[in-house]
Structure 1
C-alpha cells in the first residue's frame, strides 16, 4: 500500500509513468507497506509476468524467493541512485530524504532481488549506470546509514500507514526504537531461498497460497 498523498503522473515516453508527492512527505515517513491484498507468485508464474510488464518493481522477489506484484501506485515507483525512499528489513519502505510536494518518489532498486544486470540512466549525479545482483554487498553500508537515520525519525512525523503494519513489523520497529533490539540491516532483504516450485502450476497464474513471509 502506497502513501495516500501520492499520485501517478506521466513522466516522458522513455520512462513512462512515475509516482509524485501531492504534499510534503518528511524524512522518516513510512511510504509503502506490504499488505495482504498484494499478490504473491511462485517463480514460474512470476517470470511470465515480468515478460508481460515493464521492467522495474512491478514484479520483484522478496527475501523468501516469493515474487510480489505491487498494486496501486506502488507499481509505478521508479529507481534513482539518489533515491528518496528505501526498503527496510521491517516490512515497509521509508522516506530517507524529505520529499517535497510535486517531487517524484523514487526508490533504490538495488535493494530488491531483480536477479539480473539492468542498465540505468536515472539522470542523477550519483547514477551507477547499471544495477547488478551484488549491489547489496557493495552498497549496504551506505544504505543502512540512510535507513537508520530515517527510522530514528519515525516517532516524530505523521504516519498514515502505521495502522497497516502487521503485528510483527510493529513489534520489531518498536523494539528497535526503544533500544530493546539491534537494528536490522537491509542485508536481511537478501533472498534466503527459492519459491515453492509447485505453489503455482506452470500454466496457472493464481496467486501462491502463502503470504509475503513464505
Structure 2
C-alpha cells in the first residue's frame, strides 16, 4: 500500500520510479505490505517456473515464511538508494526519514530485504555514499544498520505528529504503528520483530 502524493515518472536511477507530487514530511509512512498486496505462498513460490520467479522477485520480495509479496498500488516501483529517504529497520512499514520535496524521487534501501539471500545488483544511485554493489547480506552489516537505526530513531517522533493518509490501515495491520500511537518513540520499544519481510498481519 502506497500513500498519496506520489506519482510514477521516468527515473535517472532505473527506468521508472516513484516521485513526490507534494511535500512528504519526516515521519510520513510512505508504504507498507498489506493484505491487498499480491502474495504467493511458500509452496506456490516453489512451483513457479524460474523465469516467472525471477520476474516477480525483481519487483516483489520474499517474506520470512517463504512466501513472496508484490507491493500493491505501484509501491513495487520504488528504486534503491544507498542514502534512501525511506527506511524500515524494526518496522513493518517504510518511513520517510527526512522531508521529501515535491519532484524528488522516493527511494528505499534494497539491503533491507534480507530474505532474498544471495541477491545483489550494481548500484547507480549516484549518492556520495553509494556502495557500488548492493547485496542482501549488507542488511546484516553493523555499520549500515547503525546508520539506518540513527535515521529512523530521529524520524520516529514525527510519525504521530504528521498527517498519515494510511493511518486506518496502519492501525489495523501494524503493531509497531499502534505502539507509536501509544506513546512509544524508542525503536527498541516500538519494534516487535516485525519488518517488511515479516509484516504484523502475517506473523500474528
Task: State TM-score, norm by structure 2.
Answer: 0.81
- What is residue 76 of structure 1 aligned with on the other side? 77
Cα distance 1:172–1:49, how it changes in 2: closer, same or farther (>3 A)? farther
Q: CA deviation at 1:16?
A: 0.8
Does structure 2 retain, via aligned residues, the 8 Å contact 1:112–1:189?
A: no
Equivalent position of 2:203 in the other structure: 213
Matches within 5 A, 1:98-113: 98-113=99-114
Q: How many angstroms apart in 1 are the aligned matches of 2:80 and 2:19?
A: 13
CA contact (8 A) 1:84 1:95 kept: yes
How well do the aligned residues superpose, as a CA RMSD in angstroms? 2.7
Q: Distance in 2 between matches of 1:86 and 1:161?
A: 16
**Cα shift readout 1:50-105 (whole Å, capped 9, x = no counterpart):** 423583xx111123332111221201100000100012433211001110001000
Following TM superposition, where does structure 1 have runs of at least 4 consecutive aligned residues deviating by more than 6 angstroms? none
Kindly state the Cα deviation for residue 11 of structure 1 after the two structures are TM-superposed. 2.1
Structure 1 Cα separation of the partners of residues 57 and 137 of structure 2: 22
Q: Distance in 1 between matches of 2:196 and 2:21?
A: 32
Q: Work out which structure has the larger RCO, using CA pairs closer than 8 Å and 6 or more positions apart in sequence.
A: 1
d(CA) in 2 for partners of 1:60, 1:150: 25
Displacement of 1:134: 2.0
Unaligned runs of 5+ in 2: none
Q: Which residue is 1:136 aligned to?
A: 139
Q: Write the distance in 2 (CA, Å) between the matches of 1:46 and 1:5.
A: 36
Verify the 8 A CA contact 1:80 1:127 in the aligned structure 2. yes
1:7-64 deviation per Cα after TM superposition (whole angstroms, max 9, x unaligned): 101225x711100001000111011022211122123239544423583xx1111233
Q: Does 1:182 align with 2:193?
A: no
Counterpart of 1:118? 121
Deviation at 1:156, TM superposition (A): 1.5
SS at match of 2:163: coil
Aligned mates of 2:196, 2:72 — CA distance in 1: 22
Alpha-carbon spacing, 1:53–1:189, altered in 2? closer, same or farther (3 Å): closer
Give distance in 2, aligned partners of 1:189 and 1:73. Answer: 20
Gaps of 5+ in 1: 193-210
Mapped to 2, the partners of 1:105 and 1:30 lie a distance apart of 12
TM-score in terms of structure 1 length: 0.77
Rounded to whole Å, the distance in 1 between the matches of 2:76 and 2:156 is: 23
CA apart distance, 1:191: 6.6
Q: Match of 2:136, SS?
A: coil
Deviation per residue, 1:101-136 (Å, 9 max, x gap): 010001111111232122212111110011123212
Match of 1:9 in 2: 9
